Structure 1
Amino acid sequence: MNIDQLPAPVLSTSLLQQAAAILAERRKLGEVGPLLTDTLRPRSQADAFALQQQVAVAMAEPIAGWKCLLPTPDKIVVAPIYQSTVARFDNDTADIQQCALWPSIVPASQGLARVEPELAFVLSKDLSPRAAPYTEAEIDQAIGATHLALELIQSRFSHDSGAGFFDQLADGLFNQGLFLGPELQPTPGFDGSEFALQLTFNDGRVQNFNAVHPNQQPRAGLYWLVNFLSANNIALLAGQAVITGSYAGVLDLPFGEDMRFQYGDWGQFRLRFVTKTS
């Protein structure tokens, strides 16, 4: 089976709606919980993706973007990002900007902000479902801007729930939002494969990372995503932002502290994480 062509889910529409209501409520309230009951748990990739899309219906808000990564033979990495969970860099202020997110519930990072450094590709035109695959050139032409970004990380399952890949795929693969940073102005020959990430804290501490994209080419996941969604009758829309994989894994960072994120010579931004309240 071509992994892009998902079969119909085994879970009934009624069961998908029941499961989605639970996951959507946790997402809205920033809560975590146990696994879904056995009758509601997804048992296949098709079930998991169908449940993920039913959560989007239950959320009843626009999808502002997507996260993705090139698939493996047995796993797809794809999830929507909701409009209310996106914070945007303000070019018109010199003040430290704030980004609200739910604190980590993972014991090793309890109470910290979990984020992943990424690039975000913002579309300037719709890419609607069609029979013929989109070419890389067509997709390149649909990219209106490239931004520095942070994916905001949190699962809706408790750390000791035993959630597997299908559970997490249904829940949105740990995504709790996106910080869309300043626009990157690519120079000739830019390939986006790696950069020197430097974090500077209030007290002068500095952390350095050799930031490398997991697929080397950061647009690779976008090329796959467009045609995967098209094959499953889902459109990508102008204005949506697509992130395609972390350059440095998950970073566990403090709340309430001013930090500077330097993405090599691509650009930088200053940010303070604050606890989300609603």
Structure 2
Amino acid sequence: MHADAIRSAAITLAARRLSGECGPLLQGDAAPQTLDEALAIQQGVRELLGNGVGGWKCGLPGEGRVVLAPIFASTVSDAAPCPVWVRDGVVRTEPELAFVFASGLPARGQPYSRDEVLAAVSGVRLALELIDSRFDAEPKPPFLQSLADGLVNQGLWLGPLVDKARALAASTLAIRVQQGGRDEVLDGVHPAGDPLAPLLWLVEYLRAQGEGLLPGQAVITGSYAGVVALQPGEPATLQFGTLGALTVDFGAR
């Protein structure tokens, strides 16, 4: 994939992020055909936006896929109301745990141990990944185009701190959703079975690329209940098993 094609794709996706508009799939030479091309477009979007990385979303790799995307600093929030792009009258969210780093893990030659990663995690917070795509709803984007676009991330809302040891053991979490007249309990299961495993993979992946985790960054590692649609303009409370609860209110950007 020529550098000009990568830049063209990145310009398209960066412009849609800024405007909130969706559009067709990347076409022709601008459509990624390999993981490296998709990640190069993702990096190009980072450079064009000039927006610091406030965190990462990640998952365990498999079947020729890597699951990682930057979460831009300007889209990480704990404000009320939280500004979001609203689609079809709803805000799409994913209930997750966010691992927050105090000291960071700078790039270095040798791998980090599990204990070193845990020592760098200053806290675990209840969180909602904010979901949005820069592509039209149909046809469904192929994985490589979704990866280039940041894996449908539009931001991250951070809730309260929870007990770190209990969070690390939370392979399952019942998610209770209350908003208006809605009161629903979802059977929450972490997609990796272990909320820490994708983080350990991410640390090593970034290290091998000559990149580290910075102080203050937050990492999410998978939704406990898939996508949960919430209504803007009305407070919603999500209970994460016995770990705790967050209350959030969204306002349209």
User: Which residue of 1 is the match for residue 15 of structure 2?
Assistant: 25
- Distance across 2 between alignment mates of 1:84 and 1:66: 13
Shift of 1:136: 1.1
- Distance across 2 between alignment mates of 1:188 and 1:251: 23
Q: Are the counterparts in 1 of residues 57 and 220 from structure 2 also a CA contact under 8 Å? A: yes
Query: Cα gap change, 1:162/1:208 in structure 2, threshold over 3 Å: closer, same or farther?
Result: closer
Query: Cα gap change, 1:190/1:32 in structure 2, threshold over 3 Å: closer, same or farther?
Result: closer
Shift of 1:188: 6.2
Mapped pair 1:99 → 2:82: yes
User: Which residue of 2 is the match for residue 274 of structure 1?
Assistant: 251
Shift of 1:14: 2.5
Unaligned segments of structure 2, at least 5 residues? none
Deviations 1:152-183 (A, max 9, x none): 00110101145211000000000000001111
Which is worse superposed, 232-241 or 143-152?
232-241
Deviations 1:193-215 (A, max 9, x none): 11221111233x31101111111
Mapped pair 1:132 → 2:134: no
Mapped pair 1:115 → 2:93: yes
- Distance across 2 between alignment mates of 1:171 and 1:230: 22
Q: Are the counterparts in 2 of residues 42 and 166 from structure 1 also a CA contact under 8 Å? A: yes
Q: Are the counterparts in 1 of residues 168 and 194 from structure 2 also a CA contact under 8 Å? A: no
User: Which residue of 1 is the match for residue 43 of structure 2?
Assistant: 53
Query: Cα gap change, 1:61/1:187 in structure 2, threshold over 3 Å: closer, same or farther?
Result: closer
Deviations 1:187-234 (A, max 9, x none): 56950211221111233x311011111111101000000111111122
Q: Are the counterparts in 1 of residues 90 and 230 from structure 2 also a CA contact under 8 Å? A: yes
TM-score (norm 2): 0.95
User: Which residue of 2 is the match for residue 222 of structure 1?
Assistant: 199
User: Which residue of 2 is the match for residue 67 of structure 1?
Assistant: 57
- Distance across 2 between alignment mates of 1:230 and 1:138: 13
- Distance across 1 between alignment mates of 2:252 and 2:19: 13
Mapped pair 1:199 → 2:177: yes
Which is worse superposed, 256-265 or 212-221?
256-265
Deviations 1:57-108 (A, max 9, x none): 011011100000011131000000001111116xxxxxxx32221112xxxx
Query: Cα gap change, 1:14/1:190 in structure 2, threshold over 3 Å: closer, same or farther?
Result: closer
The percent of aligned pairs where both chains have the same amino acid is 42
Mapped pair 1:265 → 2:242: yes
Q: Once superposed, what is the RMSD of the aligned Cα atoms? A: 1.5
User: Which residue of 2 is the match for residue 232 of structure 1?
Assistant: 209
Q: Are the counterparts in 2 of residues 126 and 238 from structure 1 also a CA contact under 8 Å? A: yes
- Distance across 1 between alignment mates of 2:25 and 2:176: 37
Moved over 4 A (4+): 187-190
- Distance across 1 between alignment mates of 2:119 and 2:164: 15
Unaligned segments of structure 1, at least 5 residues? 1-10, 90-96, 105-109
Q: For residue 22 of structure 2, what is the amino acid of its counterpart?
A: V
- Distance across 2 between alignment mates of 1:170 and 1:70: 17
Q: Are the counterparts in 2 of residues 35 and 162 from structure 1 also a CA contact under 8 Å? A: no
TM-score (norm 1): 0.87
